[in-house]
């Protein structure tokens, strides 16, 4: 028996990294999965991998900043699989840190649009479908940047992830009456293309890992385990909280 038997899940940013691993694991755990991204070729590959392994998943083009795309993705889940039980707001971007005088308003807006507005829009379109299904679970991927370690963070990224953290708590409080739970996951440095591109200088990466008591990057499976717990009925009394998975970096 899988932990997500009978559930229908929607995952954003599922073409690679943590999102792709979540899509694969959710299918292995019995869910029917719709996942979206802006990287359509990579998304199609993930879909083919899942189907080749005998699972059921559908890739859709989903730019998380687009209301029309979110509406379409939720509709796809409901029309294809009959309902929506789980939303993982995973898509995110980071930008290189520069002195604040050099940061443009457009760059700030872009980070906020993908990382914060994207979470709001996904929640906005998922909640009516979850209400219809009698309840659900929303898991928002924030970051330890949304909680602390502020000396070393890129300001727009940290602010966007802090917004996700508090939006999660408000959503949890206001939609408990709908039997919808909402929690955030706060990864530390995880070995994905995002981290590798943000820390392409090995010295910078070493410094970063020097601040992690466990002394290494995390791997996507270590995040997926936490996301799976929060998405599943194992976390039926868990809402409005934050799960930090960071090798001790915030300790």
Catalytic residue annotation:
157
> 149 or 179, CB closer to ligand NAD?
149
Nearest approach in angstroms of CB 73 to ligand NAD is 10
Calpha distance 38→241 (Å, rounded): 29
> 133 or 171, CB closer to ligand NAD?
171
Interface with ligand NAD (CB under 6 A): 12-13, 15-19, 37-39, 62-65, 90-93, 114, 141, 143, 187, 189-190, 192-195
> 36 or 55, CB closer to ligand NAD?
36
Nearest approach in angstroms of CB 13 to ligand NAD is 3
Nearest approach in angstroms of CB 5 to ligand NAD is 26
Calpha distance 225→204 (Å, rounded): 28
Nearest approach in angstroms of CB 223 to ligand NAD is 7
> 160 or 232, CB closer to ligand NAD?
160
């Amino acid at each position: 028996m899988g932990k997500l038997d009978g559930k229908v899940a929607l995952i954003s940013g599922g073409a690679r990294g943590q999102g792709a691993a979540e899509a694969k694991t959710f299918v292995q755990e019995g869910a029917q999965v719709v996942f979206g991204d802006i990287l359509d070729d990579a998304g199609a590959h993930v879909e083919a991998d899942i189907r080749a392994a005998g699972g059921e998943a559908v890739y859709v083009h989903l730019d998380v900043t687009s209301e029309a795309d979110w509406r379409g993705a939720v509709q796809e889940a409901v029309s294809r699989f009959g309902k929506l039980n789980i939303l993982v707001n995973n898509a995110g971007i980071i930008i290189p840190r520069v002195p604040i005088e050099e940061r443009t308003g457009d760059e700030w807006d872009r980070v906020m649009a993908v990382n914060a507005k994207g979470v709001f829009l996904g929640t906005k379109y998922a909640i009516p479908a979850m209400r219809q299904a009698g309840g659900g679970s929303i898991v928002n991927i924030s970051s330890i940047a949304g909680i602390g370690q502020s000396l070393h963070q890129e300001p727009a990224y940290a602010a966007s992830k802090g917004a996700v953290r508090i939006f999660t708590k408000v959503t949890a409080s206001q939609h408990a009456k709908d039997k919808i739970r909402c929690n955030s996951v706060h990864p530390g440095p995880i070995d994905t293309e995002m981290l590798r591109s943000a820390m392409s200088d090995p010295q910078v990466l070493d410094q970063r890992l020097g601040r992690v008591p466990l002394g290494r990057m995390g791997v996507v499976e270590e995040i997926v385990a936490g996301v799976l717990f929060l998405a599943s009925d194992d976390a039926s009394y868990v809402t409005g909280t934050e799960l930090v998975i960071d090798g001790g970096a915030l300790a």
